[in-house]
Structure formats: structure tokens, C-alpha cells
A and B are shown apart, each in its own frame.
Chain A
Amino acid sequence: MRSLMMARMAMQALAQNKLRTFLTTLGIIIGVASVIAMVALGQGASASVQARIAGLGVNVLTVFGGSATTGGARQGSAAVESLRAADVEAIRRECPSVRLLSPQLRRSAQVIAGDNNWATGLQGVDTAYFRIREWTFATGSAFEAIDTTVSAKVCVLGETVRQQLFGNADPVGAVVRVNQVPLRVVGVLTPRGQTSFGQDQDDAVFIPYTTFMNRLYGTDRFSMIVLSAVSPEEVDAARAEVTSLLRQRHHIRASSDDDFYIRTQQEIAQAAEQTTAIFTLLLGGIAAVSLVVGGIGIMNIMLVSVTERTREIGVRLAVGAHRRDILVQFFTEALVLSVLGGLAGILVGAIAVWVVRALSPWAPIMTVSSVLVAFFCASAVGLLSGYYPARKAAHLDPIEALRHE
């Protein structure tokens, strides 16, 4: 009852000095708003990276040809094309967890169409590759399985290549040339844009890997095999099966390293997830600093206020206030400041998130937990920074306080 009265007096004091109340809460407002906005941005970024990685196929594994040691110098990965067509057949036969697979070979090439040409990445793949990567066609279709068998002179264009060579025309049925070999265009892939690492996925030409190996470059090994597991849960099983099969086929002794290595999209997804989690944490941390600064602002103003109102405190004590009454009054002031600041901060943060969503392609995600955490941090900061000044006020000596100039 009595505390309620003291709390009401605290509210009156705040209402009587609106500008100072506003400026004091500004620190908390900015702190809470920035925590909410930054965490929302981080989570939005994280979600968009996750979505892109999921677009690559979460059940995809890539087998890379291993590194080799030449005269003591270890080469990087895929330096040696240790994978052969027979390996592909063996995996297809003996690994039950693998659903689809496709060899992949890459080379830079100059692609010519009429009097246009364009340097791009030429990729030799199986027709299953497009299903593994879950890649659909804007026009036309993938080449057939029979095209692989007969090393057919056909190709599929990425959107970037199509644009460079044909402008707005539909290239299906047209012929492009690579290394003097004419290739008939059978399909154009739907644009995918850049990978999360900034590589243009649409700047590529895909041809049957047999055509790549037999007609263009005369090689019998390849640097990569792309696989898809029967389900995302079977990725680890698929990896184990492929590893043991390839070790056996490549006659690798138990004590030796693999001459290949396998990377899964899940690993990439996890790495990306970690990166964005750290990113979110970092942004949140920077924002939290401003929340602490806001708390120091409250403490500062409350201390100034106690000094400035020393005589007032003296008068209140003289006319019968208990120390507790003074404590409650000043503590309530600090608490109200931080709670008001927290509420206003949530509002400002929500507006900031809304503006970012409207103006940028990023979609920030505002979570209830970030709002609650920011609000309770603000309240806690207010309590901590309000307690010391309130205690100081309550323990003033009335005689000294009345004499204070």
C-alpha cells in the first residue's frame, strides 16, 4: 500500500521531467531495438543460407579424386583423377544406400554459337546429375540415358551461357561448338543464381560425360562422382558403403589414407549454419553492448538525479519518509525507465525489422525469444543500475541532505 504510493510518486517525478525521461530511456530503447533487429537479421541470413543449401540437395554426397604425393610434395584434392567408370558401375551395383549417381568432369572451354562465343565451364555428367541436384529445365529437357551410352553430341545450357550466346532466343535445337565438336542444345536449365560462395551456377554447359571423355578430351578417369543417398538420413550409410567399396577397389591397405575423399552437403550445411550462428551471436553481442551502455546511462542519470534532489530527499526524510520509502521511490524510477525503454525498444526494433524486410531482399526473422530476452535484459540492467543510486539516496543523512547546496 505504502510502496504503491511511493511508486506513484516515482511516476509523477518521471512525468514531471519528460525530456530527461525520454533521453534516459533512449539508451535502453536503442539497445533493445538493436538486439531485436540484429538477431532478426542474423536469423534471416541464416535461414536464407539454409534454404540455398537445401536447394543443393541435403542428401547429396560428392566423391573427389584423392590427393597424391609427387616427390614429397602433396598435391591438393582432386589432383589425381583416381576415379574410373568401373568405380561408378561398382557403386551403382553394390551400395544400397545410394539412389542416383553421376560422374562429373570439369574443364574450362570456349563455346561458340554462330558468330558469338563465351568462355565457360564445360561439365561432363550423367543424365542423373540433374535429378541429383534437383535441377529443373526452363525449356527442353535433359539428355537421355542413351545419349550417354552412345556419347551423343548434345548439351544442356545454363541460363548465363544461353543469354551470352543467344540473347533472348530459344536455343533448343540450335548447335554450339566446343573444340570443333558441334553439340545440339536439348535443354536450358532454370536459373539458380549464385552459390552461397559467390559462384554463378548458371554459367556452365553440361554434356554427357562419355562425350566429354571420348570425343572432347580423351580421358578415362574423372575427378568427381556426385551421388544422392536414398534419404537424408542414409547419407552417413552411403558414405560408409562408398568408402569401403572404393578402398577395396583401389587396393588401399588398412594403414594407408584414402586416395579419394567424400564431402556431403550436410557438412557444408553445418559449416554454413555455424558461420551464420556465429554471425548472429556477434551481431547480438554488439547490440547487447549498447544495452549495457543504456543501463549505464540510466545509472548515470539516476546518480545525477539523486545528487540534484538531495535537498528533496532531505525534506522527505524530515517530514517522515522511511529509508525504505526513498529506496522504493528511486528504485521504481529506474525500473519504470528501463521497462518503458524496453517496451519502446521492442516497438522500434519491430519497425526496423519491417523496414529492412520492405527494402532489402533479406527477410529478417523476428523471434519471440529474442524479444523476450532483450526485454528481460533491459529490465535486469535497469534493476542493477537503479539499485545503487536508490540505495545511495535512501542512506543520505537527513541533516546533511537538508544542508546540501
Chain B
Amino acid sequence: MALSEESLVDARDVVDSADSLIEVIDLHRVYGSGILAVHALRGVSFHVGHGELVAIVGPSGSGKTTMMNILGCLDRPTTGQYRLGGRDVSTLSADELADVRNARIGFVFQGFNLLPRNSAVQNVGLPLRYGPPLSSAERHRRSLECLSVVGLAHRASHLPNQLSGGEQQRVAIARALVNNPSLILADEPTGNLDTRRSEEILALFQRLNRLKGMTIALVTHEPDIAACCRRVLHFRDGVLERDEPIVMRSLDTNDGDAFAVRDPAGPTPSRGVECVPCVP
């Protein structure tokens, strides 16, 4: 069963019951205190709507990593408000933040961060272990589904070191998808990959965004990568310097409404794999 773009977006609007998925209002983040205080963010405000594909760019020290940590509920702002899906998460406890991360946010890291002694499907299922209780059969089913979305169902039982870099990152993306999050945060997701693999990963993000209405925020310092998004937030010296919509460089050559991931290592192209990841 392939859902249309509209129905997915509609479903999300009901769930989130707010205009914007992300609302950041006058956010400050200060590390340390006194004369040693470092102002990583100095009053940042912006909104991100549902289904957007946003790049967060800036040189090192610009505050983009701090922004990313706060958006990912790994860190809390010193002052200001961060509302995710209409809910103020700036004042939640550590365990509440963990639950928000589990249910609403999917992380994709530069270094993949897969557990080395766990198979691909076990890695994908990891967030499910920290969510509401599910049977192991149900976890396995959902994890496999998400592996199909990224075209790696046939690699389910492989260990990370038996997979190529691009494949590992696709497993990580499947892990980010498994709890059907509102937001995918990708921190330099192509930093460890060559150009061809990078483009595969970016094409996958574009497809997830286009076909499933996934909201994706991508942190990068490469203009080439930012160019693959629809909107770019430029950070410099802890402030949002520029916020501009751009014309996306589309890498997603597949016009159909189904996912097809080019998989040179795989025996057959996994075109036409149905994917309804993780609708609760």
C-alpha cells in the first residue's frame, strides 16, 4: 500500500495540530559563565513547516552544531523557546527529552554510529527498544520494512563492517525512520562518503521528503550539499545571518511514487518495494 503525499501530510497535521513543526523563538545558548562564557547562539528565531527540506550551513564556530543539538533535544537552550510540534521542549527533564527524541526525532550522523556487533536489522530496531513495548516479532517486522525503504532488505543480517559506507549510512537512515519521526536531523550525513555515495544518500533524503513528506534538517558546511535542499539557513557567529529559499538541485531521478534505490552491490534493483514505514 503506497500512501499519497497528501494523505501523509494531512495525517501529520492532525498529529501535530500546529502550523509549524519547529518554532524557535529568540534562542540563546551560553556555555560556561563569567568572563569565560561562550555565546554559541545569540538570539535565533525561525520556523520550519511540515515537509520542508532545510539545510543548516555555516563555518565552524558559527553555532550550527549547537543549533542542531538543541533541535535534536540533546541540549537545552539557556534562554528562549523551542517548540517541536507545538510543544515547548526547552524545559523538559532529561528523561522527557529522551522520550521526545525516541518518538519524534530520527538522527543521522556523519560517522554512521551503528552498533558494530549488531546486524543491520538489529541496528534499525534499536530505537524501538526504548519506545513503547513491542514484541520482538513486531520490532523485526518494522525494522525490515524500513530497511526495504532504503533498499537494504537483502542485507538485514549483515554486520556493519560487512557493509560499504553508503550502505551503512542507509542503515542509519532506516534506523532514523523506524519510529516514524516528525523530524529527521542529519549531521554532515555525507561527510565520510565519496561523491557518488553522497549523491545516493541525498537522493534518498529528497525522495523521503517528496514522497513521504518527511521534514528533514541537514547540517553541512558544503554548498554543494546545501544546494540539494529547498531552503538554507546560514549561521554566522551565533546568529541566523540569512534564511533563503533556493531552487533545489534534484538528484532524485525516479519520477514514480515508489522508492527505487540504486544498489550496485545488490543482486536486483529493489525497484517497486512498497514502503509504509512505521505508521503507528
Q: Is A145 an interface residue (CB 8 A)?
A: no
A323 B101 Cβ-Cβ under 8 A = no
**Which residues of chain B come closer than 8 Å to A5, judged between CB atoms?**
129, 133
Range class of the A interface residue count: 20 to 34
Q: Which residues of B contact A347 (CB under 8 A)?
A: none
Known: A9-B129, A311-B113, A402-B113. A319 touches B95 (CB 8 A): no
A2-B133, A314-B113 known; A319-B75 Cβ under 8 A: no
Report if A258 contacts B (CB, 8 A): no
Do the beta carbons of A325 and B130 come within 8 Å of each other? yes
B103 at the binding interface (Cβ < 8 Å): yes
CB nearest neighbor in B for A321:
B130
Flag whether A71 is at the interface (Cβ < 8 A).
no
A262: which B residues are within 8 A, CB to CB? none
Contact with A along B81-118 (1 / 0, CB 8 A): 00000000000001100110111000101010101011
List, in ascending order, chain B residues with CB within 8 A of A314's CB.
113
The A309-351 residues at the B interface (CB cut-off 8 A) are 311-312, 314-325
Interface bracket on B? 20 to 34
A324 to chain B, nearest CB (A): 8
Which residues of chain A from 289 to 319 have any CB-CB distance to chain B below 8 Å in the complex? 311-312, 314-319
Residue numbers in A under 8 Å from B113 (CB-CB): 311, 314-315, 402
CA distance A405 to B43 in the complex (A): 32
- Asked whether A1 and B117 contact (CB < 8 A) given A319-B102, A322-B95, A323-B94, the answer is no
Nearest-neighbor residue (CB-CB) of A320 within chain B:
B102
Q: Do the beta carbons of A316 and B75 come within 8 Å of each other?
A: no
* Closest chain A CB from B99 CB (angstroms): 6
Show 8 A/B contacts (Cβ-Cβ < 8 Å), sorted by A: A13-B117, A16-B118, A318-B74, A319-B126, A320-B103, A320-B127, A399-B74, A402-B109
Leading 9 A-B pairs by shortest Cβ distance:
A320-B102, A320-B130, A319-B127, A16-B117, A315-B113, A322-B95, A321-B130, A320-B101, A398-B74
Interface residues of B (CB under 8 A from A): 69, 72, 74-75, 94-95, 98-99, 101-103, 107, 109, 111, 113, 115, 117-118, 126-127, 129-131, 133, 175, 179
Q: Give 14 A-B pairs besides A2-B133, A16-B118, A320-B101 with Cβ atoms closer than 8 angstroms.
A: A5-B129, A311-B111, A315-B109, A315-B113, A315-B115, A318-B72, A319-B130, A319-B175, A320-B98, A320-B130, A322-B95, A322-B98, A322-B130, A399-B69
